[in-house]
Structure 1
Amino acid sequence: MTGSLLQIDNLSVPLPKGADRPFAVQDLSLTLNRSEILCIVGETGSGKSLTALAAMGLLPKNLPRATGRIAFEGTDLLQIPEAERMHLSGRRLAMVFQEPIASLNPVYRVGDQVAEVIGLHSDLSAAQIRQRVLDLFTEVRLPDPQALMRAYPHQLSGGQCQRVMIATALAMDPALLIADEPTTALDVTTQAQILQLMLDLRRQHGTGILFITHDFGVVAEIADRVAVMRHGQLVEIGPAAQILRDPQADYTRQLIAAVPRLDPRPPGRSFGAAVLAATGLTKTYHTRTLFGASRRVEALSKVDISLRRGETLGLVGESGSGKSTLAQCVIRLVQPDKGDVVIDGGTFTGLRGRALREARRRVQIVFQDPYTALDPRQPIGRAVAEGPLIHGLPRAEAWARALDLIAAVGLDPASAKRFPHEFSGGQRQRVCIARALAVRPDLLIADESVSALDVSVQLQVLELLAEMQQQFQFGMLFITHDLRVASRICDRIAVMRRGRIVEEQATQTLFADPKDPYTRDLLAAVPGRDWRDGPRHKEPADG
């Protein structure tokens, strides 16, 4: 280490009157050194993200003024004028946010958005800026960087959008990079590449990285030190190896105990009748580039899947492999070019209007992005009760069911009258899960439904899904990039790549004896998969 880069002393971020506690962050003190990666972990609402936002000067305007000291290279960021802070942001300090699609402007091409940052903070020519953007897109492993520079955010997968945001943050080679859950939406192979990119950035440029995560596998892979937060306060801080292998605080031990292991579910459970039969599903997208050239993307190619009552089928694969497209074709949010879908004996193929709406009661989906899945004008209790009301349940029963489900997913039923913006990302995802379960579906599609949750809540939600499935015997199509989670909850796993299923086996068989080389690559890329026996580790920090 070569000295302190960021020094936080007695930072407190007050909450407005009526909040569940006085401070979002209270008397927090910690140091980040140059060429160091400090991971901050803790449950949703622990104050991790607000600590990062305070350092970047991005705290919500409705919060009272933060107190304490945040010194970056000796300059107190809480005291300098706004213009000086803006000059530092982007050049010397940069941040990668948790939700990329909310950070990208939908009306501008992603290459132009990265170029804008470079243009604001440099004197490079247009040609030099373009080359720099191309180099950045290549560095963060975006496929076909030349073409993607001209793409709009909606044309990219969630993982690809996140890589664009990382490229934006790296544009000016910042001294301090704050990364707020930057790998949450990424598949394991891309995640491994991004983590290696963080290590390379630290080694080559001496960048200090404040890395916020709930994934202890990521912690084991890259952290030099770990800070554990709870309810806005620092619980403990220390070297990564010590925190992972010999935590001192009970809370830290509870978090680590909740981390799912690669422990495949054994076969032998009995299942009911077929609840889903999809055959020959094919979907091809045709787009045009800036110069009118046609671009053909085969999102699905003759995919067959089946699922029985009480069974969970996992879909795994990299971003862009077709997992979400398959789910959307099953529920008919996307119309497949070819193929048939039968759910609980009833066809979805060819249904329109009211018949389709009635049939959709049998299948519900929890989307990957909780920020865009909820109506910002609707209280969460009403959002959960809406489905049962639409399908004829009396209002009192629908509201009672909504309150029960809100409690079941770990939220206070008293929060039913609050709006989505009053919840964290993980809390919003729990609301989405409750809403999907409210109509008691025959088939539940969970599209990365626990990827935004911290490990303790993730464990609760997985157990909740298992309990609800045991009680109501719905089939579950579980889409995830987290192979630990897949091993815990899935009876079978189908591995997708480039719109095709390359391998499908019982979970225990797949993990013990993967047949396809791509499956073996996925398993090898799981971050920190051996950390309980000692991290498989990165090179130490310089100095």
Structure 2
Amino acid sequence: MSDHLPDDVLLSYENLTIPLPGKGDRARAVEGLSLQLHRNEILCIVGESGSGKSLTALSTMGLLDAEFDRPQGQIMFHGNNLLEMGERQRTQRIGGKLAMIFQEPTASLNPFYTVGHQVSETFKIHTDLSKAEIRQKVLDLFAEVLLPDPERIYRSYPHQLSGGQCQRVMIASALALNPEVLIADEPTTALDVTTQAQILKLMLRLRERHGTGILFITHDFGVVAEIADRVAVMCRGELVEVGPTAEVLNNPQHAYTKRLVAAVPRLEPRAARSDLGETVLRAQNISKTYRTGHIGKAVHEVRAVDDVSLTLRRGETLGLVGESGSGKSTLSQCIIRMVDADGGEIEIDGIRFDSLRPRALRHARRHAQIIFQDPYTALDPRQKVGDAIAEGQLIHGVPMAQAAARTAELLEAMGLDASAAERFPHQFSGGQRQRICIARALALEPALLIADESVSALDVSVQAQILELLVDVQQRLQFGLLFVTHDLRVASQLCDRIAVMQKGKIVEIGEPVQLFTNPAQEYTRQLLSAVPGAGWVPQSAA
């Protein structure tokens, strides 16, 4: 390939191949990728975990782990093959013309420094601007990415900001030197729909104002429908389909693309089921206030849960939706007493949880279990998964042989072989780990199961499998399911009722059909209007 690229091509991959270290399921993470990003274009790369999307981005930035062998092929930018450049040479020649936003902003920001200080570092390294000029540049960037009160944000530490605000800080940092190419790796995956919509609008505005080429990696086809000019589909390291967004989404050619599109959750409200059992959860007037401050300073109060009441029956799924900070997770944690509420009554399966002392609470916890959002941190990396599933059973007096048999049964019910019990968490994919977490939660046959954003970070195909699995297991075991999510498309299909939380209160609750077709509250209407790609109907649903 010639080092000279057409004027409108910013970034070009030519036969990019990245070998996989060790003995993986295939020899190469990326195999012969050839793809171009044009000026003023948003190119979305989609595919399941392990398809090579993020490794392509990391190789572009020179951030591949040392365990990887040197990538082969070319990544051309400004007449340079990035694969042949060292860190110092990249800094001198490329500078801030190529920037990246990562999926988890809080992991990318240093907790010991203010965010203003961290964004300023980019200018200190690459420019000769004075301290005052740098400060003003950072404040202007914060204003451009629509951060409220840039002066306050400048002085804030990462833990003092929301996830959406931290992501805006990372975008501001990436834009500091006005890059020609911006790589965004799942930047909206963990954000609620309204924050996600704001970030997507910001991306579109950046493209319009700066002519930036954006390589946007995502597994959310709603996001693709909202912002992409072209779509590239990767499967097991290979590019299997690429084309204009409308063509790929509405008339996919490759069988893999068709399968991905078919798995996309649709905003399809369902009617509540009538064959439900007795009440398994009764939460009455639950409140929780967090207080921060120091001696001699004013105490800041956040009323995370404000006089909330709800009920849940056996076999029923109640969705809990709302923006980040609305109180969804705090309410869930109060219900099973991971966090003690300040007031209110909690009854689970006929047991008053709010008044139990520690020893009695430990015994009663078999009636209520929780599945967390991140399957990677939910499992002990040093413990075999069979032991993790059996542990709760043994604690509650189940004989070892019976616990082992139950563990094997659960693994097989989750679509895994019973032999998986002898393996460690790192030997499984994210979707498989979440299945293991579900098996662990169901080992004691709880009356109440809480799923806290348990599918939000999974690929659409894996997400569809997990949701189908939850529905199937609930039909057999008849537990009540409290499903916490920010994805209204998933909630519309899975839940019998949906409760909408805002600023610690439940502002609306009802069946999906009523809630999605005729919402009573303006806040609910705002959430619905912010669903990415709401106007796109997958071909399989047409």
TM-score for both structures, normalised by structure 2: 0.91
- Structure 1 residues 331, 88: closer, same or farther in 2, change over 3 A? farther
Equivalent residue letter for 1:98: Q
* Range moving further from structure 2, 221-230 or 133-142: 133-142
- Structure 1 residues 131, 285: closer, same or farther in 2, change over 3 A? farther
Partner of 1:462: 467
Q: Which of structures 1 and 2 has the bigger CA Rg?
A: 2
Structure 1 distance, partners of 2:384, 2:92, is 39
> Of the candidates 60, 79, 83, which is equivalent to residue 78 of structure 1?
83
* Range moving further from structure 2, 63-72 or 41-50: 63-72
1:307 pairs with 2:339 = no
- Structure 1 residues 385, 104: closer, same or farther in 2, change over 3 A? farther
Partner of 2:3: none
Structure 2 distance, partners of 1:519, 1:370, is 30
Partner of 2:255: 250
Equivalent residue letter for 1:274: T
Partner of 1:184: 189
Determine if contact 1:289/1:295 at 8 Å carries over to the other structure. Answer: no
- Structure 1 residues 173, 434: closer, same or farther in 2, change over 3 A? farther
Measured after TM superposition, the shift of residue 28 of structure 1 is 1.3
Measured after TM superposition, the shift of residue 291 of structure 1 is 9.9
CA deviation digits over 1:435-471, x for unaligned, max 9? 3233322111111111111111111111111111111
CA deviation digits over 1:20-53, x for unaligned, max 9? 1111111111111121111111112111111111
CA deviation digits over 1:484-516, x for unaligned, max 9? 100010111111111111111111110111000
> Of the candidates 24, 48, 57, which is equivalent to residue 19 of structure 1?
24
Structure 2 distance, partners of 1:121, 1:425, is 38
RMSD: 2.6
Determine if contact 2:264/2:538 at 8 Å carries over to the other structure. Answer: no
- Structure 1 residues 378, 206: closer, same or farther in 2, change over 3 A? farther
SS at match of 2:29: strand
> Of the candidates 54, 62, 65, which is equivalent to residue 67 of structure 2?
62
CA deviation digits over 1:242-282, x for unaligned, max 9? 00111111111111111111111112432111111111111
Measured after TM superposition, the shift of residue 421 of structure 1 is 4.6
Measured after TM superposition, the shift of residue 139 of structure 1 is 3.9
- 1:33-182 matches, within 5 Å, as 33-86=38-91, 91-143=96-148, 145-182=150-187
Structure 2 distance, partners of 1:413, 1:113, is 48
Partner of 1:193: 198
- Structure 1 residues 433, 464: closer, same or farther in 2, change over 3 A? same
Equivalent residue letter for 1:330: I
* Range moving further from structure 2, 211-220 or 411-420: 411-420
> Of the candidates 385, 392, 405, which is equivalent to residue 397 of structure 2?
392
> Of the candidates 325, 335, 340, which is equivalent to residue 335 of structure 1?
340
Partner of 2:528: 523
Identity %: 64
Structure 2 distance, partners of 1:292, 1:398, is 53
Measured after TM superposition, the shift of residue 223 of structure 1 is 0.6
SS at match of 1:382: helix
- Structure 1 residues 470, 398: closer, same or farther in 2, change over 3 A? same
Determine if contact 1:405/1:438 at 8 Å carries over to the other structure. Answer: yes
Structure 2 distance, partners of 1:164, 1:446, is 30
SS at match of 1:265: coil
Structure 2 distance, partners of 1:58, 1:407, is 38
1:505 pairs with 2:482 = no
- Structure 1 residues 346, 521: closer, same or farther in 2, change over 3 A? same
- Structure 1 residues 34, 387: closer, same or farther in 2, change over 3 A? farther
Determine if contact 2:13/2:75 at 8 Å carries over to the other structure. Answer: yes
Equivalent residue letter for 1:260: P
Partner of 1:233: 238
Equivalent residue letter for 1:28: L
1:484 pairs with 2:501 = no
1:277 pairs with 2:277 = no
What stretches of structure 2 of length at least 5 have no aligned partner?
1-5
Measured after TM superposition, the shift of residue 407 of structure 1 is 5.2
- Structure 1 residues 520, 88: closer, same or farther in 2, change over 3 A? farther
Structure 2 distance, partners of 1:155, 1:432, is 30
- 1:396-407 matches, within 5 Å, as 396-406=401-411
Partner of 2:211: 206
- Structure 1 residues 88, 369: closer, same or farther in 2, change over 3 A? farther
Partner of 2:358: 353
Structure 1 distance, partners of 2:491, 2:218, is 19
Measured after TM superposition, the shift of residue 420 of structure 1 is 4.1
- Structure 1 residues 417, 88: closer, same or farther in 2, change over 3 A? farther
- The aligned length equals 534
* Range moving further from structure 2, 183-192 or 387-396: 387-396
- 1:259-278 matches, within 5 Å, as 259-278=264-283
Measured after TM superposition, the shift of residue 133 of structure 1 is 3.9
Equivalent residue letter for 1:14: P
Measured after TM superposition, the shift of residue 183 of structure 1 is 0.9
- 1:343-382 matches, within 5 Å, as 343-382=348-387
SS at match of 1:276: strand
* Range moving further from structure 2, 172-181 or 161-170: 161-170
- Structure 1 residues 512, 435: closer, same or farther in 2, change over 3 A? same
SS at match of 1:202: helix
1:450 pairs with 2:455 = yes
Determine if contact 2:266/2:537 at 8 Å carries over to the other structure. Answer: no
Partner of 1:539: none
Equivalent residue letter for 2:46: V
* Range moving further from structure 2, 348-357 or 332-341: 348-357
CA deviation digits over 1:81-122, x for unaligned, max 9? 122235578712222222333333344444433333443333
- Structure 1 residues 429, 50: closer, same or farther in 2, change over 3 A? farther
Structure 2 distance, partners of 1:444, 1:126, is 53
Determine if contact 2:262/2:538 at 8 Å carries over to the other structure. Answer: no
- Structure 1 residues 356, 204: closer, same or farther in 2, change over 3 A? same
Structure 1 distance, partners of 2:538, 2:265, is 15
Determine if contact 1:220/1:528 at 8 Å carries over to the other structure. Answer: yes
* Range moving further from structure 2, 154-163 or 263-272: 154-163
Partner of 2:326: 321
Measured after TM superposition, the shift of residue 532 of structure 1 is 2.5
Equivalent residue letter for 2:502: R
- Structure 1 residues 284, 139: closer, same or farther in 2, change over 3 A? farther
Equivalent residue letter for 2:505: R
SS at match of 1:285: strand
Structure 2 distance, partners of 1:468, 1:7, is 47
Structure 1 distance, partners of 2:40, 2:336, is 48
* Range moving further from structure 2, 93-102 or 263-272: 93-102
SS at match of 1:531: coil
Structure 1 distance, partners of 2:395, 2:148, is 43
SS at match of 1:467: helix
Structure 2 distance, partners of 1:415, 1:393, is 21
SS at match of 1:373: coil
